């Protein structure tokens, strides 16, 4: 259908359809960047411009084939985006957005001033894509490319990398703990969005046959962003919807507003801006979810069998007794206050160690030191015999350390299965491109199977398709543990896994931990529930005021007077 459309449309609509297709391309990139990964850019139009000028210079002035122009445009844009991403990668998202304003204006002013680019007079007579053909053929190419890119983006979102991208949006620490290199991934997404824009720029130059700096300014960049917000930043279909609405409305406004006000001007921007503000206040997910509600919901895929396997094949074996974790006299200070002071601790394969102590004793800080969230001020951490004190969380995860969080960190609006599968991130290798081209299916299926197995093992079989955020807190904790097990860890760090669990759930968790111990996994858990700790731990370490005050078998520790004092407290 889309391919035939160019043949049937009158010329004016050919242009309009081309603009919608091109805008959709840019907007798709912004959906990935903004809606999915929680970053944004006010500079996409300058990427469009870079590629458009690159192909123009090569085809018009140097007489090369458009293919060369395409490759050059993608390379230049990709390289510049990569550099800009490098600079802002570690800063909060709004810095990237602010810088994007600056580069948007800089490029715009460069396009307008570099003598080579003929300033605002622009460059005309750019050869068409296929020699001797007109806009209709190019429109066909645009619509085809748009369809392909949209499919590839959908493929990407439905993949290991796509899931990882969602952790960039406000859950980076969790992502990193699953072994995702969040800094690198956010840069990749940014470059990808820039490449989409570059593709649009290349097509734009050959479609229009003429370019000048005007359509590559800040205003256009913001139009693209408005399209995404109007359409719906979280769904790919929001991109064409928003693009079509903005382009068509703008076209109408251009006719009507001068007649109404007697003045030419950028009034449609005013109207769009008000629409965007109201949408962000009232319907931050854009129009797509509202539209989707009009259609009857297609029933969820075949209900997953509720029968939970009780036992699953054992993950990576380790010889019992081997030292997995060795923390040696670590300290960590926060502005003069010692949260952890000279604590030593070890966990061996096939051992469950419980870390207890009053709230604020430094247990979570110690956890963060082990899992790479914090670096120790002094002392060493060895994992599996290797120094690990200054590794970042995703590298620690890659060593085979999985963790859960005291305050549950899940992607609330994604399914339980997707959340659990995040834990299996490291058992796959397919990146952005393989996912987009669907070359990752075998791996992806294996990965999801593994996630299902782990979820069923913890009794989540009936809930795989539910949104994680809809589950009660206790079950959310179980999802976290399933996710951690998906990592096939050799060492498991659990931060208050039993908090908020019902008695039956606690017993089930205890049984699971014992089974993991039998499989040779080392477990370090922070827990307040003494019954639970006493029932499952081989060894208990007690902390108070950042220091270790006791260590030993549960019965032994329980009778320790220092522990009684720390735990039960006395009042004069």
Partner 1 sequence: MTALLRVDRLHAGYGKVEVLHGVSLVVPEGCMVAIVGPNGAGKTTLLSAIMGLLPRIGGHVLYCDEPAGSTEALVASGAVLVPERRALFADMSVEDNLLLGAYTRRRAGNRDTSASMRDVFTTFPRLEERRRQLAGTLSGGERQMLALGRALMARPRLLLLDEPSLGLAPMIVRAIFRVLADLRASGLSILLVEQNVRAALQVSDYGYVLEMGAIVTEGRSSDLANDARVIATYLGARR
Partner 2 sequence: MQDGITTGAIYLLLAIGLLIVFSVTRVIFVPQGDLLAFGTLTAATLQSGQIPGTLWLLDGVSALALLISWHRAPLRTALTWGVYPFVLTMATLLLARFEHPAMSILLALAIVTPMGPLIWRFAFRPVADASVLALLIIAMALHFVLAGVGLVFFGPEEARAPAITESNFELGQLNVSGQSLCVLASCIILVAALRWFFGATIYGKALRATASDRLGARLVGIDAAATGALAFALASFIAALAGVLIGAVTPLSYDAGFDIGLKGFVAAIMGGLASFPLAAAGAVLVGVLESLGSFWASAYRDVIVFTLLIPVLAWLSLRAGSGEERA
DSSP 377: S
CA distances from 506 to 205, 226, 509 (A): 63, 48, 5
Residue 309 CA from chain centroid, whole number? 31
Does 314 help bind partner 1 (rule: CB under 8 A)? no
Asked if residues 505 and 474 have their Cβ atoms less than 8 Å apart, the reply is yes
Nearest CB to partner 2, comparing residues 111 and 202: 111
Copy the structure tokens of residue 447: 């990965």
Asked if residues 529 and 329 have their Cβ atoms less than 8 Å apart, the reply is no
Listed in sequence order, the residues at least 6 apart from 563 whose beta carbon sits closer than 8 Å to its beta carbon are 542, 549, 550, 557
CA distances from 539 to 267, 309, 346, 353, 523 (A): 71, 30, 10, 5, 11
From the CB of 544, what's the least distance to partner 2, in Å? 27
DSSP output for 353-374: EEEE-STTSSHHHHHHHHTTSS
549 binds, among partner 2, partner 1, none (CB under 5 to 8 A by kind): none
- Backbone phi and psi for residue 395, each to the nearest 5 degrees, phi listed first: -75, -35
Does 234 help bind partner 1 (rule: CB under 8 A)? no
Look at the alpha carbons of 514, 516, 520, 526 in this order and tell me if their dihedral is positive or negative: negative
- x/- contact string, 409-448, with partner 1 (CB under 8 A)? ---x------------------------------------
358 binds, among partner 1, partner 2, none (CB under 5 to 8 A by kind): partner 1
* Stretch of 271-279, 292-300, 484-492, 558-566 contacting partner 1, by CB under 8 A: 558-566
Distance CA 365, CA 427 (A): 28
* Stretch of 60-68, 129-137, 160-168, 472-480 contacting partner 1, by CB under 8 A: 472-480
From the CB of 156, what's the least distance to partner 1, in Å? 27
- Backbone phi and psi for residue 104, each to the nearest 5 degrees, phi listed first: -60, -45
Nearest CB to partner 1, comparing residues 299 and 472: 472
252 binds, among partner 1, partner 2, none (CB under 5 to 8 A by kind): none
Figure out which of the listed residues 4, 386, 442, 572 binds partner 1, where binding follows CB under 8 A. Answer: 572
DSSP 128: P
From the CB of 420, what's the least distance to partner 2, in Å? 22
Does 552 help bind partner 1 (rule: CB under 8 A)? no
* Stretch of 12-20, 98-106, 352-360, 507-515 contacting partner 1, by CB under 8 A: 352-360
From the CB of 373, what's the least distance to partner 2, in Å? 8
Figure out which of the listed residues 82, 267, 433, 567 binds partner 1, where binding follows CB under 8 A. Answer: 567
Figure out which of the listed residues 294, 311, 504, 571 binds partner 1, where binding follows CB under 8 A. Answer: 571
Does 449 help bind partner 1 (rule: CB under 8 A)? no
Does 470 help bind partner 1 (rule: CB under 8 A)? yes
Listed in sequence order, the residues at least 6 apart from 466 whose beta carbon sits closer than 8 Å to its beta carbon are 415, 416
DSSP output for 463-512: GTTSBGGGS-HHHHHHHHHHHHHHT--SEEEEESTTTT--HHHHHHHHHH
CA distances from 401 to 377, 455, 489 (A): 22, 19, 5
Distance CA 352, CA 355 (A): 10
Nearest CB to partner 2, comparing residues 252 and 261: 261
Asked if residues 420 and 466 have their Cβ atoms less than 8 Å apart, the reply is no
CA distances from 484 to 163, 339, 369 (A): 15, 26, 18
From the CB of 158, what's the least distance to partner 2, in Å? 25
Asked if residues 349 and 325 have their Cβ atoms less than 8 Å apart, the reply is no
Figure out which of the listed residues 37, 177, 454, 476 binds partner 1, where binding follows CB under 8 A. Answer: 476
Figure out which of the listed residues 502, 507, 518, 553 binds partner 1, where binding follows CB under 8 A. Answer: 502
Does 561 help bind partner 1 (rule: CB under 8 A)? no
128 binds, among partner 2, partner 1, none (CB under 5 to 8 A by kind): none
Figure out which of the listed residues 545, 547, 549, 560 binds partner 1, where binding follows CB under 8 A. Answer: 545
Binding site for partner 2 (CB under 8 A): 34, 38-40, 42, 87-95, 97-99, 101-103, 105-106, 109-110, 113, 170, 172-173, 176, 182-183, 222, 225-226, 229, 261, 263, 265-267, 269-270, 272-274, 276-277, 280-281, 284, 392
Residue 253 CA from chain centroid, whole number? 37
Does 94 help bind partner 1 (rule: CB under 8 A)? no
Interacting residues with partner 1 (CB under 8 A): 335-337, 358-361, 412, 469-473, 476, 496, 499-500, 502, 528-531, 545, 558-559, 564-572
């Amino acid at each position: 259908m889309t391919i035939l459309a160019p043949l049937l449309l009158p010329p004016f609509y050919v242009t309009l359809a081309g603009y919608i297709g091109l805008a959709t391309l840019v907007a798709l990139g912004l959906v990935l960047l903004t809606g999915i990964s929680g970053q944004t850019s006010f500079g996409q139009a300058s990427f469009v411009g870079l590629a458009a000028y690159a192909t123009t210079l090569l085809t018009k002035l140097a007489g090369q084939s458009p293919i060369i122009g395409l490759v050059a445009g993608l390379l230049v844009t990709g390289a510049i985006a990569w550099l800009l991403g490098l600079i802002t990668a570690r800063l909060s998202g709004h810095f990237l957005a602010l810088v994007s304003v600056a580069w948007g204006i800089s490029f715009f002013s460069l396009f307008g001033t570099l003598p080579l680019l003929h300033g605002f007079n622009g460059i005309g007579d750019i050869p068409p894509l296929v020699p001797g053909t007109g806009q209709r053929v190019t429109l066909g190419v645009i619509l085809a490319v748009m369809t392909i890119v949209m499919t590839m983006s959908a493929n990407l979102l439905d993949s290991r990398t796509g899931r990882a991208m969602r952790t960039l949006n406000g859950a980076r620490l969790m992502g990193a703990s699953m072994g995702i290199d969040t800094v690198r991934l956010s840069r990749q997404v940014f470059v990808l969005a820039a490449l989409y824009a570059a593709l649009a720029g290349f097509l734009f130059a050959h479609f229009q046959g003429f370019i000048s700096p005007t359509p590559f300014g800040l205003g256009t960049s913001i139009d693209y962003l408005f399209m995404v917000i109007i359409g719906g930043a979280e769904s790919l279909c929001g991109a064409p919807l928003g693009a079509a609405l903005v382009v068509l409305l703008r076209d109408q406004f251009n006719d009507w507003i001068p007649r109404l006000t007697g003045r030419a001007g950028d009034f449609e921007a005013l109207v769009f801006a008000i629409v965007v503000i109201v949408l962000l206040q009232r319907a931050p997910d854009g129009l797509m979810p509202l539209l989707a509600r009009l259609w009857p919901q297609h029933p969820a895929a075949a209900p997953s069998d509720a029968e939970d396997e009780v036992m699953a094949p054992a993950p990576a074996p380790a010889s019992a007794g081997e030292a997995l974790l060795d923390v040696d006299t670590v300290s960590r200070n926060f502005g003069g206050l010692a949260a952890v002071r000279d604590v030593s601790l070890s966990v061996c394969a096939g051992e469950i160690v419980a870390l207890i102590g009053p709230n604020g004793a430094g247990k979570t800080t110690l956890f963060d030191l082990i899992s790479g969230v914090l670096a120790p001020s002094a002392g060493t951490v060895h994992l599996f015999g290797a120094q690990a004190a200054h590794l970042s969380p995703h590298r620690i995860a890659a060593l085979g350390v999985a963790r859960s969080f005291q305050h549950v960190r899940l992607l609330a609006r994604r399914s339980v299965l997707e959340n659990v599968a995040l834990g299996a991130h490291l058992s796959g290798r397919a990146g952005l491109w393989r996912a987009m081209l669907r070359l990752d299916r075998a791996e992806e299926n294996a990965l999801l199977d593994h996630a299902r197995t782990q979820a069923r093992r913890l009794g989540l079989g009936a809930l795989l398709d539910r949104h994680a955020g809809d589950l009660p807190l206790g079950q959310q904790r179980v999802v976290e543990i399933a996710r951690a097990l998906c990592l096939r860890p050799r060492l498991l760090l659990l931060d208050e896994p039993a908090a908020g669990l019902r008695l039956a759930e606690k017993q089930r968790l205890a049984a699971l931990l014992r089974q993991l111990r039998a499989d040779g996994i080392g477990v370090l858990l922070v827990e307040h529930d003494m019954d639970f700790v006493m029932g499952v731990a081989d060894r208990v370490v007690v902390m108070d005021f950042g220091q270790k005050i006791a260590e030993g078998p549960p019965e032994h520790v329980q009778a320790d007077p220092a522990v009684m004092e720390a735990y039960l407290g006395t009042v004069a």
